[in-house]
Amino acid sequence: MEKVNLKICVGTMCYVMGGAELRDVVESLPQNIIEHLNVSYSPCLGCGKGEETPPFIEINGKRVAGVSKNSLIRIIKEELRDVV
């Protein structure tokens, strides 16, 4: 199976608006999950101009706004539901 592409915004806007721990969440995922992910960090995903609120992530090209540390885990689980 192809790996899931996960991009986490670590820009200051997302950091200040509640995304400070997103990187931690990803880094503390168990091995059986992390091996299915292709994680990258970006200083800005180019969002935050429209009505959506930060913090942002991108999972398999889909942008998700207003991510919290708990919803991030949910989102990853949902994406990997067939595998893990």
Partner 1 sequence: MLYDNFAMLTKRELLIRIVKLLKEKDLVNGVKYIPVEMRPRNKKPIKCCVHKDRYILKHKIISILGFEITDEEIDLIPLAEFAQKALDNKNTKENILSVVHEACSACMQSQYFVTNMCRGCEGRPCLMNCPKAAISFKGGKASITQEDCVSCGLCSKVCPYHAIVYTPVPCEEVCPVKAITKGEDGTEHIDKDKCIYCGKCMQTCPYGAIMERSKVIDVYKSISDPNKKIIAIPAPAIYGQFNATPGQILSAIKAIGFDEVVEVALGAEDTSRNEAAEFLERMHEGKPFMTTSCCPAYVGWVDKHAPMVKPFVSDTRSPMVYAARRVKEQYPDAEVVFIGPCLAKRYEAEMYVPEVDYVMSFEELGAFMVAYDINVETCEEMPLNPEVTKFSRGYAQAGGVRNAIVEAVGNGYTTLSLEGLDKKNQTLLKMMPKKPEAQFVEVMACDGGCVNGPCSLAPLTLAKRQIKKALEK
Rule CB under 8 A: is residue 15 a binding residue for partner 1? yes
* DSSP, residue by residue, 31-83: HHHHTTEEEEEES--S--SSS--S--EEETTEEE-S--HHHHHHHHHHHTTTT
Residue 25 CA from chain centroid, whole number: 9
**Which of 12, 32, 38, 71 contacts partner 1 by CB under 8 A?**
12
46 binds partner 1 (CB under 8 A): no
Q: Should residue 60 be labelled a site residue for partner 1 when binding is judged by CB under 8 A?
A: no
Under rule CB under 8 A, residue 13 binds partner 1: yes
Hey, what are 65's tokens? 């706004």
Q: Which is nearer to partner 1, 21 or 37 (CB)?
A: 21
Q: Does 21 bind partner 1 (CB under 8 A)?
A: yes
